Amino acid sequence: MRLKKINACFALLTIFLFFVHFIYQAVSYILFFYHPVVTKVLGYSLVGVMLLHAILACISVFGKHDSKSISYPGLNLQTLLQRVSMCAIACLLPLHIFSYPILQKTAGTVLLYLFEGVMILFYASMFLHIAVSFSKALITFGLLSDNKKRKITDVVMTVICVIGFVAVSFIITMTHLKLHGG
C-alpha cells in the first residue's frame, strides 16, 4: 500500500505539471511567445516525474500480478483505458519531445498533417489517462470514500479533460499549420 501512495503522489504531481505545461504552451502558442528555458524546464520536469510514475506503476501492477493470465479481478473498463492510454503515451512521448525538429522536416508536406494527427492522438491519450486515473489517486489517499463522490469527480475531470483536449488540439494544430503548413 505504501508503494501505491508514493505512486499516487507522483501521479498527482504529474497531473499538476501536465496542466501547468499545457496552459503555458497554449498561452505561448496563442501569443506567439516562446521562452526556451521555461519550456524546457517545465517539459523535462514533467517527463522526469512521469517516468518515475510509470516505473512505480509498472512495479505496482506487475509486482502483485501472477502473470498467468491477462485478466484479474480488478480489471474493468476504466483500468483497461488507463493501461491502453499509458502504452500510447509511452510510444508517442518521444515524438512529442522531438516535435519541433519533426515539424521543421515535414513543413509544407503531407507528412505534416500525418504528424499533427499523431500528436492529436498523443493529446487524447494524455487527457484520457488523466480522466480515468485522477479519482484512483484520490481513492488511494482516502479522499474519495463513497461511490457518489467518485462518480462526480470522474465526471468533472472528464469534462475538464475534454475541454483541455479540444483546446490543445485546436490551438497547437492551428499554430503548427500556420507556421509550418507552407
For residue 58, the tally of other CB atoms under 10 A from its CB is 12
Where are the chain's structural domains?
2-180
**pLDDT tens digits along 36-92:** 899 999 999 999 999 999 999 989 887 765 455 555 555 688 888 999 999 999 999
Dihedral angle sign, alpha carbons of residues 12, 17, 23, 26: negative
Give the per-residue pLDDT at 124: 97
Give the per-residue pLDDT at 61: 80
Contacts of 35 (CB under 8 A, 6+ apart): 28
Give the per-residue pLDDT at 34: 83
Give the per-residue pLDDT at 37: 93
DSSP 69: S
**pLDDT tens digits along 13-42:** 999 999 999 999 999 999 988 888 999 999
Give the per-residue pLDDT at 68: 53
Q: pTM of the full predicted structure?
A: 0.89
